[in-house]
Structure 1
Amino acid sequence: MSSRELWADGRLRAAWAARDWPTLIRRYRALAGISQSRFGELVGMDQGYVSRLERGRARVTSETVVARIVEGLQVPNELGGVRRTPDPEWAPSSELRERIAHAHSSGRTDLRTADWIREVLVGHRRAEDEVGGQDLWPIVRSQLDAVTQLIPHASGETADQLMLLAAEHAHWLSWVAWQSQRRGPALAWIDLAHGWAVDGGHVDMSSWAQRVRAYYSLAHGDPVRALRTAESARYAGPRPLSPAAEAVAVHQAAMAAAACAERDRARRLADEAHELAVQVPDAHERPGWLYWLSPVRARLQHADAAYACHQWADAAAGFKEALPALAGYPRDHAYYRARLEDAERRA
């Protein structure tokens, strides 16, 4: 595995951000398939010191040593300045907004950095369920800075693609902020994601951002607003949505309708959402941020809508059928397992 492939690993990047040297060394050695001695050769340390670091019996405090680690392990440039802080800066900065304001100016830019960042963001989406979003926050925030610094030098389709990548990062940051009970910053980030997607002409992402806002409204106890927002997500732009993007918007509308006690409408929407979702079983046919919308997930969403409509037997059957496929997603598995047990009690 090349150094580039190694550093696409979400857990390795999170360990770097946290300066968690035991986890970083173990993870790097496991991915690279190397011994402590070989690791020491890469970073200019003897095997005994590497062993003490890996067991947590020694610490790295010298910036000179950190620099050797950066060079020896070929830490990507966008991680070089990342520092873990006890309380991250949750809200978007004015400097970030200023960079985005210069999109579509004339110029040329090298997209290799953007392609690399897009690749590792995919890994962060999958790793977030395992390592926790707050551990990855400084990494993704640093990546967003790298993307937005490219935008003033881009134009045309290149600028549009960078706007989409920026919107994807803003969405991720919004979700982690929401999970961390930072509702104000979460809304600020998702609004940025929506605006950047609209500016770049990306209807699927603009729809997804509205769908996420609908989810926030429903979770915060405002189903009427959630239903209104989810319905608007279905008609987010001048072009039709992809089936996957439309599926998640319609499902969110179904959940909001059920919360508004419009159960017949909710069931119709849930059926429609499921039919749309199963049209795209292959991940490469879906937008990157909807990588998770497999037929199994579509079945779980359909069961969740049945649960919201108090169709306990249908909900339990759907959860039981699909739940085994979530073994690698502990947070989601726990959520749907609790739903299954409750539905079985009520059936």
Structure 2
Amino acid sequence: MGEIPEILWSHPQLVAAVTSEDWGAVFRTYRKLTGLSQTKLGERVGLAQSDVSDIERGRRQVTSVEVRQRIVSGLDLPPDPQATAARLTADTAPVTGVAVPGAVPDEDLLARVTSVVDMSHRVDAATLDWLDRLLAEHRRAEDFTGSRPLIDVMRRQLRTVVDLYAGARGRLADRVIRLASEHAQFLAWMAQDQAQTAAALAWYDRSHEWALEAGDANMAATTLSMKAHMAWSGGRGARCVRLAEAARWSAPGTSLGVQGMAVQMAARGHALQGEASDAHRLFDEAQRLISRASERPEDEPVWMYFYDETWFTLQRGMAALHLRDWREAAEHITAGLDALPDEYRRDKTWYRACLAHALAGAGELAQAVSVAVATVPDAAALGRPHSWNELHTTASLLMRRDAKEGRRLVIALREHD
């Protein structure tokens, strides 16, 4: 079956799931971290794939002591996951410039991926496996820290990946190109997050080109969806719709989740233009795709880890915000925020700013100010222009509705400017 890496037990979501004996969450998180299919995980724990699927989806509960013991033995669960996580986090030294606990490989591998690559040395699968894992950890770190601390790190890491290409042969060369495409897409997202529009567009274009070269339909479509997101962020609804449609139809063979992302982006573009019927129709279609995708999460690319019902609820809230259905927007965003884990600090900050906007639009002025003021410190700390701008938009709306309430938010913004 292969050795199970102990470092898995430094991951907080997995530790929390094991500690609470939420076996569905254990299975989902374990597979996300290891890349195992439901069938392969079933082989480890002595369950059929259909049983693994039912447990993940909450259709079956683990009540048998014998089944529980098979899971504990098959996944090599530590007796005290929290103590193990604390030890691993304390014992692992971060890579230079990379503050990601538990991401350190053996010394030889570490030296090869953090220094100038010797082009006479052949690239091997172990190097690329580690870079895959490191990119996944960086994505999750950015969910909490925001993009600002990671941009320079990721630029250096992409240079390392590109340098590897000269020493790669055959299938390894294809993997290097795919990995470069994923790095470029992440860099584009971070540039977009920091309102560096020209850099983001350039990185998305480069990512798309590399994805096509690698034959990666999912990444090719994702880059177009993210360019649609950029158009949406800039208030260009028609361009958002066109790019989203291109994401869906120009790359055949994409996963259901990637298709769902493209459809909901088109829905957001229509909402931005005030086209409610088209927006609602496409959101319904996207939700059907999400539901089908959730039945086979192993078919989704690794960067789609965030795409679930919680995220979709938040997107419906954003559409309602565009359509000025303030109370519906507040209800959806509140429900999404309640379900969004704390490690998504960056997204929580953005959606709280949007919630304040929706509450102000609905006339709930005191509540809007309370939410907005509480959001200001995180928005300032993360250095995310979009959240900051949304808070200023809310302040302007409040000033029109009630100058006293508006001034409270303006003062809070000035204190952190």
TM-score range, shorter chain: 0.5 to 0.7
Instruction: Quote the offset at 1:192 in angstroms.
Output: 0.3
Instruction: Quote the offset at 1:120 in angstroms.
Output: 0.9
CA contact (8 A) 1:283 1:294 kept: no
Query: Is 1:163 paired with 2:197?
Result: no
Correspondence for 2:111: 77
SS of the equivalent of 2:190 reads helix
Instruction: Quote the offset at 1:77 in angstroms.
Output: 2.5
CA contact (8 A) 2:321 2:358 kept: yes
Amino acid at match of 2:259: E
Cα 1:143–1:283, aligned 2, differ >3 Å: closer, same or farther?
Answer: farther
Pairing of 1:159-198 with structure 2 (within 5 A): 159-198=173-212
Correspondence for 2:322: 308
Amino acid at match of 1:118: D
Give the TM-score, by structure 1 length.
Answer: 0.68
CA contact (8 A) 1:174 1:185 kept: yes
Gaps of 5+ in 2: 13-84, 94-103, 363-417
Correspondence for 2:261: 248
Correspondence for 1:261: 274
Correspondence for 2:348: 333
Q: Partners of 1:113 and 1:75 in 2: how far apart?
A: 7
Q: Which 4+ stretches in 1 moved above 6 angstroms?
A: 1-9, 72-75
Correspondence for 1:126 among 140, 146, 153: 140
Pairing of 1:232-243 with structure 2 (within 5 A): 232-237=246-251, 239-243=252-256
SS of the equivalent of 1:234 reads helix
Query: Is 1:273 paired with 2:280?
Result: no
Cα 1:29–1:272, aligned 2, differ >3 Å: closer, same or farther?
Answer: closer
Correspondence for 1:287: 301
Gaps of 5+ in 1: 10-27, 43-69, 83-98, 100-106
Correspondence for 2:358: 343
Q: Partners of 2:269 and 2:282 in 1: how far apart?
A: 10
SS of the equivalent of 1:135 reads coil
CA contact (8 A) 1:108 1:154 kept: yes
Q: Partners of 2:278 and 2:165 in 1: how far apart?
A: 43
1:88-117 Cα deviation digits (max 9, x unpaired)? xxxxxxxxxxx9xxxxxxx97412111100
Q: Percent identity?
A: 32
Q: After alignment, is 155-164 or 172-181 more displaced?
A: 155-164
Instruction: Quote the offset at 1:280 in angstroms.
Output: 2.5
Instruction: Quote the offset at 1:196 in angstroms.
Output: 0.5
Instruction: Quote the offset at 1:131 in angstroms.
Output: 2.7
Amino acid at match of 2:160: A
Amino acid at match of 2:253: P
CA contact (8 A) 1:168 1:193 kept: yes
CA contact (8 A) 1:250 1:272 kept: yes
Aligned length: 272
Q: Partners of 1:33 and 1:249 in 2: how far apart?
A: 41
